[in-house]
């Protein structure tokens, strides 16, 4: 039981299931869940995209004749992630974008 960990994403899954069961009774709740969930998925996609590419921002330290010299990191050739990492990030960004657009569409239909 000590190694048991709790994943907060299960709360989101349970919330989405409850939302799908009650979407006809409370459309404002559906708009909030779709918008918030879509924003979170977009954030995860952005993290997957930027984590996979680019160089580190830390400086390289070298010593010469007893003096410390900090060198800036070399600029990377491309800021794109590896080809194997583009797929998951693009999937996150696509699903999150669709969820946010659906929430916006529902809000426009509801309040106009």
Average pLDDT of the chain, as a whole number: 79
CA–CA separation, 20 vs 66, rounded Å?
Answer: 66
CA distances from 16 to 3, 60, 95 (A): 27, 46, 15
Compute CA 29 distance to the chain's CA centroid, rounded to the nearest angstrom: 22
pLDDT (average), residues 1-28: 71
What pLDDT does residue 97 have? 93
CA distances from 86 to 7, 45, 53, 55, 96 (A): 25, 10, 10, 16, 15
Give 57-87 pLDDT, tens digit per residue.
577 888 888 888 888 877 666 667 777 778 8
Residue 108 predicted with pLDDT over 90: yes
The tokens 């998951």 sit on which residue?
A: 88
pLDDT bucket at 10, cuts 50 / 70 / 90: confident
What pLDDT does residue 62 have? 86
Q: Which helix (H) or strand (E) holds 4?
A: none
């Amino acid at each position: 039981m000590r190694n048991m960990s709790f994943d907060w994403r299960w709360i989101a899954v349970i919330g989405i299931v409850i939302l799908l069961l009650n979407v006809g009774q409370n459309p404002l709740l559906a708009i909030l869940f779709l918008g918030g969930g879509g924003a979170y998925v977009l954030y995860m996609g952005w993290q997957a995209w930027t984590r996979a590419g680019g160089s580190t921002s830390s400086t390289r330290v070298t010593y010469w004749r007893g003096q410390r010299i900090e060198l800036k990191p070399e600029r990377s050739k491309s800021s794109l992630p590896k080809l194997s990492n583009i797929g998951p990030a693009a999937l996150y960004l696509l699903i999150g974008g669709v969820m946010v657009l659906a929430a916006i569409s529902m809000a426009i239909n509801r309040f106009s």
